[in-house]
A and B are shown apart, each in its own frame.
Chain A
Amino acid sequence: GIQVEQSPPDLILQEGANSTLRCNFSDSVNNLQWFHQNPWGQLINLFYIPSGTKQNGRLSATTVATERYSLLYISSSQTTDSGVYFCAVEPGGGFKTIFGAGTRLFVKA
């Protein structure tokens, strides 16, 4: 099946710093989503982005489907950005949504 790899696995930032999280996938996909899991375990969708670039406040995401990767940018990080960021893909020809292992982010005040 499709492989989804996220990097880095762990990231520690000082408040105000910028960061880039990466998601690589091994096969073509119908769609790609980014999620944030907060310290209380709640999963919130950040972006639905099968291709192209989207921005939402301090967050933006870019997916280059032909090269099988997606990037999540966090600018001017805040302590509330802490948690785990997951990339999830729906492989072409199927309805399953498969998750990567996540990037654990801690933002220090």
Chain B
Amino acid sequence: NAGVTQTPKFQVLKTGQSMTLQCAQDMNHEYMSWYRQDPGMGLRLIHYSVGAGITDQGEVPNGYNVSRSTTEDFPLRLLSAAPSQTSVYFCASSGTGGNVLTFGAGSRLTVL
């Protein structure tokens, strides 16, 4: 039982490049979400999903796309990376109906 798995752990991009951060969970959780954490700040919600085929925007969605084709996977896409997207990204999941959020280990992204 792996929990929430994020890949890659580290990534360096040049401005304008695109990439996808992967997130997978094996707990059959309906709810999945992406956060970014900048130095000295809390976690800010980027996008979230309450089930396959359903996604919605969080607090800071601009510059990011998501899709949810299966219950297990929730990838986060950066279409044209900018230095302002340098951050640590966390994926989380939970069952619906009020359940504990389980986090992945994080992905550290640097955009030059």
Measuring CB to CB, which residues of chain A are less than 8 angstroms from any residue of chain B? 1, 30-31, 33, 35, 41-43, 45, 48, 50, 86, 88, 90, 95-102
Q: Is the CB of A97 within 8 A of B33?
A: yes
CB-CB under 8 A from A45, the residues of chain B are 100-102
CB-CB under 8 A from A33, the residues of chain B are 100-101
Q: In the complex, A99→B43 CA distance in Å?
A: 6
Q: Does B15 contact A (CB under 8 A)?
A: no
The contact string, 1 if C-beta is below 8 Å from chain A, for chain B 72-101, is 000000000000000010101000101111
CB-CB under 8 A from B99, the residues of chain A are 48
Q: Is the CB of B100 within 8 A of A43?
A: no
Partner of A101, one of B42, B88, B90, B92: B42
Partner of A43, one of B44, B50, B56, B90: B90
Q: In the complex, A48→B105 CA distance in Å?
A: 20
Tally B residues with Cβ within 8 Å of A. 25
Please report whether the interface of chain B is mostly helix, strand, loop or mixed according to DSSP. strand
Q: Is the CB of B42 within 8 A of A99?
A: yes
Inter-chain pairs besides A95-B48, A96-B45, A96-B48, 17 sampled, C-beta below 8 Å: A1-B59, A30-B98, A35-B101, A42-B103, A42-B105, A43-B92, A50-B98, A86-B42, A86-B43, A88-B43, A88-B101, A90-B98, A95-B96, A97-B101, A99-B44, A101-B41, A102-B42
20 contacts between A and B (CB under 8 A): A30-B98, A41-B88, A42-B103, A42-B105, A43-B92, A45-B100, A48-B100, A86-B42, A86-B43, A88-B43, A88-B101, A90-B98, A95-B31, A96-B45, A97-B45, A97-B92, A97-B101, A99-B35, A101-B41, A101-B42
Q: In the complex, A31→B94 CA distance in Å?
A: 13
CB-CB under 8 A from A98, the residues of chain B are 45, 59
